[in-house]
Amino acid sequence: MSAGFQRARRPEQVEARRAAILAAARELLDRRPVADISLRELSCRVGLAKSNVLRYFDSREAIFLEVLDDVWTAWLDDLEKALDEPGPAEPGFAREERVAGTIARTLAERPLLCELVSSTAPVLERNITVDSARGFKRRAAANTERLGTLVHDRIPELPAEGARHFARGVLVLVSGSWPHANPTAAVAAAAAELGEPPGFAAGLGETLTNLLAGLVARGR
């Protein structure tokens, strides 16, 4: 046990200790990818032994899933402000392009969110308990539903199920495209020799526009 450690017993003490652990995780994530951060390093950052950190979270991965939930919710709050208010239909798929472009741009402005989303299935969901998985999946479902609702409100022609499909598609596309847009130095050098592909925001925006326009067209 680390020197001076006292177990938090009151609810406010537990929440304060959990908040300190999450803040330390955020600090480390500002420096390198989640896959490179160990529980030992995180414990040292917050000033606790590993066993003490695990009193508040059941694993390293569970900590970062809570960070993901926080930055995901913050993004949705900002996205709601960034999206235009609902308006009348426009020629072609101008609204779809604008909504998809706003989603892509605001995601590109949040590299931590993209990093954690792309690490969810291959890293963060690999070492958690059923209780942690259940809690995360419920929060993720609520966030995904909220994204679908934001899009549906602005494009009413999009069926509700289509909006849910689109919201799930956003996560899948970020999961796949973010790592490819941020390769190692060697891979980046090789890719440059073959011609640079579109940047993350531009490529994601184009793909999301096509997905959204297709779902709207199929729902008519």
Per-residue pLDDT for 196 more than 90?
Answer: no
Write down the pLDDT at residue 198.
Answer: 60
DSSP secondary structure letters along 180-215: HHS--HHHHHHHHHT-PPPPHHHHHHHHHHHHHHHH
Class of residue 123 by CB neighbours under 10 A (exposed 0-12, middle 13-18, buried 19+): middle
User: For the segment 133-155, what is each residue's pLDDT rounded down to a tens digit?
Assistant: 999 999 999 999 999 999 999 99
Which tokens hold the place of 128? 């958690």
Compute the distance between CA of residue 152 and CA of residue 161 in angstroms, rounded to an integer: 10
Range in 42-56, 72-86, 88-102 the model is least confident about: 88-102
Q: Which residues contact 213 (CB under 8 A, 6 or more apart)?
A: 93, 96, 97
> Measured between alpha carbons, how far is residue 207 from residues 1, 2, 65, 83, 90 in Å?
51, 50, 26, 18, 20
Q: Which amino acid, 60?
A: R
Using pLDDT thresholds of 50, 70 and 90, give the confidence band for residue 4: very low
Compute the distance between CA of residue 218 and CA of residue 110 in angstroms, rounded to an integer: 31
Write down the pLDDT at residue 183.
Answer: 81
